[in-house]
Amino acid sequence: MISLNNLRQFKADGRKFSCLTCYDASMAKAMEIAEVDSILVGDSLGMAIQGRDSTLAVTVEDMAYHTAAVRRGNQHAFLMTDLPFMSYATLNDALVSSKTVMQAGAQMVKIEGGAWLSETIEVLTRNGIPVCVHLGLTPQSVHVLGGYKLQAKTREAADQLIADCQAVVNAGAALLLLECVPAQLGREISELFPNVPVIGIGAGLETDGQVLVVQDMLGLTFGRVAKFVRNFMKEQSGETAIVDAFKAFHLAVQDGSFPAREHTFQVEL
């Protein structure tokens, strides 16, 4: 089973690592066969599985249920789980929510925010709970951000995001996830923290890892498709098409062919 130390070593070795969202045992098993490095049980299940228009209605109990299913299906990948909306608003909430999903099988929890999370990160880390911090476009704050759109488009905003990254790393964040930021910023942040792996989604080619929502990369998104998405399923056929799509994603991340320029936001900062 891949560990946090493995991800750190991947970064040290310059080896890009793959990550996909997953919510059930059968898809988890297919990802195991394809040797996908890491899995995020994302609160994106609110939209992808439950048919909602945002992640906000997802509960800790939902996350624990799907985490347990994914862990039963996959004994290879490093497994992260989102703490959903308002489930870490207080330190006690964060501890109770984290305990629930860690006991369900997660190896790390993911929370959304910036420097204001520092005390929460310190407390969770002190209690043996590794933390990934999600910055940039943070879906739980979609109503504050005014929609799903590119973040940190100016030098000032980019520097603020870097300051937030520094604060959460100082507090003990073991992993960063950057969503929907300029490729230049993804590179800068990845270089700035040599001991903290950085996963990108719409954050350019030069982050240490890449993540996509599994339905997106299988072409199961109906309607508008985000710029940073590539459909890996349309290149496959036959009985093993889904596993082959996962393998293609994993290899494309490793060899640097994904994301291509058309999947990134090129903004000069």
What is the total count of domains within the chain? Answer: 1
82 belongs to a structural domain: yes
Pick the catalytic residue from 179, 191, 235, 268.
179
Q: Does residue 239 form part of some domain? A: yes
How many other β-carbons are positioned within 10 Å of the β-carbon of residue 252? 18
Domain-located, residue 188 = yes
- Separation CA 116–CA 47 (nearest Å): 27
Q: 1 burial class (0-12, 13-18, 19+ CB within 10 angstroms)?
A: exposed
> Does 269 reside within a domain?
no
Residue 10 belongs to domain with CATH number: 3.20.20.60
| 133, part of any domain | yes
Q: Residue 243: helix, strand or coil by DSSP?
A: helix
Residue 268 lies in a domain: no
Provide the residue range defining the domain that includes 20.
Answer: 4-263
pTM of the model: 0.96
* DSSP bridge pairs for 19: 38, 211
CA-to-CA distance for 43 and 76, rounded, in angstroms? Answer: 21
Collect all residues with Cβ–Cβ distance below 8 Å to 85 and sequence separation of at least 6: 43, 55, 56, 57, 58, 140
- Residue 179 falls in the annotated catalytic set: yes
**Per-position DSSP letters for 191-214, written without gaps between them:** HH-TTS-EEEESS-TTSSEEEE-H
The closest of 133, 3, 8, 28 to 78, measured between CA atoms, is 3
How far is Cα 52 from Cα 77, in angstroms, rounded to an integer? Answer: 27
In a domain, 158, yes or no: yes
**Torsion sign, CA atoms 247, 253, 257, 261:** positive
Show pLDDT as tens, one digit a residue, over the chain (269 residues): 999 999 999 999 999 999 999 999 999 999 999 999 999 999 999 999 999 988 999 999 999 999 999 999 999 999 999 999 999 999 999 999 999 999 999 999 999 999 999 999 999 999 999 999 999 999 887 656 555 689 999 999 999 999 999 999 999 999 999 999 999 999 999 999 999 999 999 999 999 999 999 999 999 988 889 999 999 999 899 999 999 999 999 999 999 999 999 999 999 99
Q: Distance between CA atoms of 255 and 166, rounded to whole angstroms?
A: 29
